[in-house]
Amino acid sequence: MSEWHFISENRIQHTCGYELILNSGSWSDPHDIRPCIPKNLALQPLEIVRKLREGLNFACSNLKENTL
């Protein structure tokens, strides 16, 4: 089971609470992506980038299955 899931067509969430919001473009060709990190989640910069990459990979791989 994936640690990521779709909240909506343009929003995904990791089990730790980290979210990615696609503001423009598509998951395969994003133009504007905003991470949303809960205040109680302490991530180092490298971990933030890693989650961003993981989230994009998940969204691209699972978009057709999770289209609302």
The 10s digit of each residue's pLDDT in 7-63 is 999 999 999 999 999 999 999 999 999 999 999 999 999 999 999 999 999 999 987
- Domain range for 8 is 4-62
pTM attached to this predicted model: 0.86
Query: What's 18's DSSP letter?
Result: -
In a domain, 19, yes or no: yes
In a domain, 20, yes or no: yes
Burial class (CB in 10 A: 0-12, 13-18, 19+), 59: buried
Cβ atoms of 13 and 29 closer than 8 Å: no
In a domain, 67, yes or no: no
For the chain, what is the domain count?
1
The 10s digit of each residue's pLDDT in 29-44 is 999 999 999 999 999 9
Radius of gyration of the chain (CA): 11
And the tokens for 40? 């109680």
In a domain, 68, yes or no: no
